Structure 1
Amino acid sequence: MEKMYLTPAETVRTIVDNGKRVLTQSRLRTFVLSLLAGFYIGFGAQLATVVTQDAAAFAGKGVAALLGGSVFSLGLMLVVVCGAELFTGNSLLTSSALHGEITWGQLLENWGIVIVGNLAGSLFFAALMFESQLWMNGAVAETAIRTAAAKCQLPFGVALVRGILCNWLVCLAVFMATAARDVSGKMLACYAPIMAFVASGFEHSIANMYFIPTGLLLAGKLGREVPGLSWGAFFRDNLLPVTLGNILGGVLFVAFAYWYVHLKVDAPR
């Protein structure tokens, strides 16, 4: 009888083996898959905005955060089950580099292609939502603008730490989804950690590539001057520290930690 899940040691080995795809996968294929990941995270992010725009008034802030995190998890489910290249999840490629299966140069090249593709996909999805005119008036637009402004106003160190905590959970979600052997198990593995990071208020770089441009587009259309909300603040005050934090959280607390525990003894010398 086939096992329903892999052990942690088996999961690390599978992640290391999966990382070898960068040896044969073309740059164009990687870029297209990274575009798809930007779209998928955007689907979850926009749904979270719609669900939470009035939930707190009826159920309280805690329940609203729980609901937002629950629906946002759709994004990683789509990435994992349908297949896509997500920058934050690709922190786990570090395990392959540590084990000598890919070079550090190949790792950095993958990260570079994927983060550009994720950004392009997220911006395109934000433009699609803007052109849909679903949010031009009312509470949803106000929620989107308020969310974007709050993210741009975070101090650098705060955004960095929230980024660390976020991708710690995101990479654990990918780790557990890799361990699961069926679709339902993979979806559940994605749900719990992603719900936890969103409900906790942590910061995800790729989600913010959708949230903040959407707020900027809506504020511009509605003629709103929002303190601290600008394209410069998006890249400088949020995306930079959050991306660095995401890298640290995924690499140190998941990729390196589990490689060290389960595979370092076997690593090439």
Structure 2
Amino acid sequence: MDKQYLTPAETVKSIVENGKRVLTQSRLRTLVLSLLAGFYIGFGAELATVVSHDAAQVAGRGVAAFLSGSVFSLGLMLVVVCGAELFTGNSMLASSALHGEITWGHLLENWVIVILGNLAGSLIFAGMMFASQLWTAPGVADHAIKIAAVKCQLPFTVALVRGMLCNWLVCLAVFMATAARDIPGKLFACYFPIMAFVASGFEHSIANMYFIPTGLLLAAAQGREVPGLTWTACFRDNLLPVTLGNILGGVLFVAFAYWYVHLKVDGRRSRQSRPGDAS
């Protein structure tokens, strides 16, 4: 009977081996997959906005946060099962670089292409949702604008720490999804950590590339000037600290930690643990 999951040590080896794709994958393919990831996270974000816009009035803020996180998890499910390049999940490439399978230059090149592709996909999707006029439903636009404004008003350190906590969970979701050997297992692996980070109020850079521009577009359409909600604040006050936090959280707490525990032995890379030796 086939194994239903990989052990943590086997999972790290699989992640390291998978990271070698950046050596052969074309930049154009990476860009297309990055655009798709921006779309997929956008689907989760818009669904979370619609589902949660009046839930707090009916069931309370805690239940509203839980519902928002539950439906938002669709985004990572699409990324993992359908295949796409998501910047936050690609923090796991640090394991491959640490183990010498790819260079840090390859990692940085991938990150630059992927984050730009994710941004483009998120902006395109925000524009499509704006053009759909689905925001005319009572209360939805106001809720979307409020979400964006709150994110732009976070202090730098708060946004940084929330970004770290967020991608710690996102990368654990990727880790568990890699360990799962079937589709239901991968879906559950995505659901619980993503639900947890959204319900907790942590900050995800790619989701915010959708949330904040959507709020800006809707505020502009209504002729509203919302304190703190500007394009400058979007990039400087939110995306900059949140992205840095996402990198730190994913690289330190997941990619480095599990590489160190399972692949680094006595201060050097274990020859026995090399990905190519795994069967």
TM tier, smaller: over 0.9
Give the structure 2 partner of residue 213 of structure 1: 213
Q: How does 1:66-215 map to 2 (within 5 A)?
A: 66-136=66-136, 138-215=138-215
Tell me how far apart the structure 2 counterparts of residues 218 and 138 of structure 1 sit (CA, whole Å).
Answer: 13
Partner of 2:166, secondary structure, is helix
Give the structure 2 partner of residue 14 of structure 1: 14
Aligned length: 269
**Structure 2 residue identity aligned to 1:113:** I
Give the structure 1 partner of residue 277 of structure 2: none
Give the structure 1 partner of residue 59 of structure 2: 59
Contact 1:51 1:68 (8 Å CA) reproduced: yes
TM-score, structure 1 normalization: 0.99
Partner of 1:181, secondary structure, is coil
| TM superposition shift of 1:216 | 0.1
Point out where structure 1 has 5 or more consecutive residues left out of the alignment.
none
**Structure 1 residue identity aligned to 2:269:** A
Tell me how far apart the structure 2 counterparts of residues 128 and 48 of structure 1 sit (CA, whole Å).
Answer: 16
| TM superposition shift of 1:136 | 3.4
Give the structure 2 partner of residue 232 of structure 1: 232
Give the structure 1 partner of residue 245 of structure 2: 245
| TM superposition shift of 1:235 | 0.2
Partner of 2:4, secondary structure, is coil
Tell me how far apart the structure 2 counterparts of residues 247 and 67 of structure 1 sit (CA, whole Å).
Answer: 27
TM-score, structure 2 normalization: 0.95
Tell me how far apart the structure 1 counterparts of residues 22 and 109 of structure 2 sit (CA, whole Å).
Answer: 9
CA root-mean-square deviation:
0.9
* Deviation per residue, 1:3-23 (Å, 9 max, x gap): 000000000000000000000
Tell me how far apart the structure 2 counterparts of residues 140 and 96 of structure 1 sit (CA, whole Å).
Answer: 42
Tell me how far apart the structure 1 counterparts of residues 67 and 145 of structure 2 sit (CA, whole Å).
Answer: 19
**Structure 2 residue identity aligned to 1:167:** N
**Structure 1 residue identity aligned to 2:229:** L
Identify the range of structure 1 (214-223 vs 132-141) with the bigger mean alpha-carbon deviation: 132-141
Where do 4+ consecutive residues of structure 1 move more than 2 Å? none
Give the structure 1 partner of residue 276 of structure 2: none
Give the structure 1 partner of residue 269 of structure 2: 267
Tell me how far apart the structure 2 counterparts of residues 174 and 195 of structure 1 sit (CA, whole Å).
Answer: 14
**Structure 2 residue identity aligned to 1:18:** N
Give the structure 1 partner of residue 274 of structure 2: none
| TM superposition shift of 1:137 | 5.4
**Structure 2 residue identity aligned to 1:176:** M
Point out where structure 2 has 5 or more consecutive residues left out of the alignment.
272-279
